[in-house]
Amino acid sequence: MTEHLITVDGARLWQSLMDLAEVGAYDDERTGLRGVNRLALTDADAAGRRLVISWMERAGLTVRVDRMGNIYGRREGTDPGARPALTGSHIDSVATAGAFDGCLGVLGGIEVVRTLNERGITTRRPLEVAVFTEEEGVRFGTDMLGSAVAAGRLSLEYAHALTDRHGVTLGGELARTGFDGPAGERLDPPHAYVECHIEQGPVLAQAGVEIGVVTGVQGISWQEITIHGRAAHAGTTPTELRADAGLAAARVVVHLRAMVDSGAYGELRATVGHLAVHPDLTNIVPARAELTVDLRNPDDAQMARAEEDLAAFLCTLEDDRPGLSVSTRRMARTAHVPFDDGVRKVIAEAAGDHGLAHLSLLSGAGHDAQEIAALCPTAMIFVRGEYDGISHNPREYSTPEACAHGVDVLATTLLRLAGQD
């Protein structure tokens, strides 16, 4: 099947990626590379959003911003009543990012529109390109936040009240940056949603394959754990009389690794990405420790068992050492989300028609697609990464050819879903 086969301008796509990467750019001392720091709704993120909106408008898209700050650019179809084919991703980043995570999906969508315009191709269904707010979750503590509100899993009020570590609310930052838009935050169900994204892992590169057809997203659990102990002098307080919050936190880290290594919870992955002790002084036993726990599992039942095990272990910390107390706060929890077989088939056929080797794989990372899957048939295209697929790091890199190939598949998939007139 070679009809409706679209090839985009790879050089122009690459230039867009590199131009956006300059917004929030910094020199990373650890890698010696140029990195990106564009946390959600910071000044850098706002500048990136304005740049992307300008590109949308130049491509002839009609732009709307909703009350969650989500941005949608719309290209009309010949049937004004038809539900749109939607694509997109995010442009917010972690503090030590590269140029590709999320951005490829947004800029790839814009590049698809440019290509259709240049070829004079109209579609029956409208096409829309989305930029979702705070996908990373690193600033306001809940990942896929904008798409979760758009899909109705989280309320606008909940999202607006979230605060960063400085007590600044998301709602306040939307207003400050000018992205508290007038459009309603709930997204009308599209006809289908397709997201193009870098893999953020080594599977495609190790297999020598260019395109991943994503079968779904594994379950994700985020918790913040606070351990309260008792401050004490490091030299004068006997070990047996200490209530050391730092030691208790270390035990949590070791226990999580033991859970993973045991194999008792299936394909569990566990990460403590943030750990801080207070008062954080060399000669004082920590009075308090704060840590985050990130659990991933493709099996929801196994995830639930792992969470129960962790909760039971936290209780033993209090029992083992008088003076210790533990509290937890749920940051995020999403179940395993399977993607639509029909959309996956369209992606696989498009990859094959472009002559690109492809394989099916499960996403280990969370994506906006898992939220939009509650509204419409959804699937994802993965693009191969270099350096073992490292991501959330300035070394994150996909070649210009890999990016262009991924967006070629995106363009052909969207055209077939939208219906060429």
Distance CA 48, CA 19 (A): 10
Based on the domain organization, do 91 and 181 belong to the same domain?
Answer: yes
Give the confidence band of 332 by pLDDT, cuts at 50, 70, 90.
confident
pLDDT tens for 73-131 read 999 999 989 999 999 999 999 999 999 999 999 999 999 999 999 999 999 999 999 99
Is the same domain home to 14 and 141?
Answer: yes
Q: Within a domain: residue 4? A: no
- For residue 158, name the pLDDT band (cuts at 50, 70, 90): very high
Q: What is the pLDDT of residue 421?
A: 67
Q: For residue 420, name the pLDDT band (cuts at 50, 70, 90).
A: confident
Residue 179 counted as domain residue: yes
In a domain, residue 5? The reply is no
145 & 269 share domain: no
Task: Please indicate, yes or no, if residue 110 is contained in any of the structural domains.
Answer: yes
Residues 171 and 141 in one domain: yes
Among 334, 355, 373, the domain-final residue is 334
* Structural domain contains residue 3: no
Same-domain pairing of 325 and 406: no
How would you class 313 by CB atoms within 10 Å of its CB: exposed for 0-12, middle for 13-18, buried for 19 or more? Answer: middle
CA distance 53 to 47: 10
* % of the chain with per-residue pLDDT over 70: 99
pLDDT band at 4 (very low <50, low <70, confident <90, very high): confident
Do 51 and 155 belong together in one domain? yes
pLDDT digits (tens, 9 = 90+) for 178-195: 999 999 999 999 999 999
Mean pLDDT of 138-164: 96
Q: Which of 296, 318, 334 is the last residue of a domain?
A: 334
Q: What is the CATH number of the domain that holds 290?
A: 3.30.70.360
User: Is 55 in the same domain as 184?
Assistant: yes
Locus of tokens 């009309």: 76
Tens of pLDDT, residue by residue over 253-293, are 999 999 999 999 999 999 999 999 999 999 999 999 999 99
Q: Please say whether the beta carbons of 127 and 418 come within 8 A.
A: yes
- Predicted model pTM: 0.89
Alpha-carbon distance 41 to 136, whole Å?
A: 12
* Domain co-membership, 162 together with 213: yes
Q: Examine residue 126 and state whether it is found in any structural domain, yes or no.
A: yes
Averaged pLDDT of the chain:
96
Whether residue 2 lies inside any domain: the answer is no
Please, what is the Cα angle at 394 between 390 and 395, to 5 degrees? Answer: 45
| 129 and 262 assigned to the same domain | no
Question: How far, CA to CA in Å, does 69 sit from each of 52, 106, 156, 183, 313?
Answer: 13, 15, 11, 9, 40
- pLDDT tens-digit series, residues 367-395: 999 999 999 999 999 999 999 999 999 99
Cis bond before residue 279 (omega within 30° of 0): yes
In the predicted model, is pLDDT for residue 2 greater than 60? no
Q: What is the per-residue pLDDT for 148?
A: 97
Choosing from 334, 356, 384, the residue where a domain stops is 334
Full residue range of the structural domain in which residue 204 is found: 10-217+336-418
Q: In this structure, what CATH number is given to the domain that contains residue 48? A: 3.40.630.10
Q: What percent of the chain has pLDDT over 90?
A: 97
Do 235 and 285 fall within a single domain?
yes
**Rounded average pLDDT over 215-233:** 96
Q: How many independent structural domains does the chain possess?
A: 2
Distance CA 189, CA 344 (A): 18
Provide mean pLDDT across the span 206-216. 97
Same domain for 178 and 206?
A: yes
| Residues 152 and 265 occupy one common structural domain | no
Q: Are strands 85-89 and 192-198 parallel, antiparallel or unpaired?
A: parallel
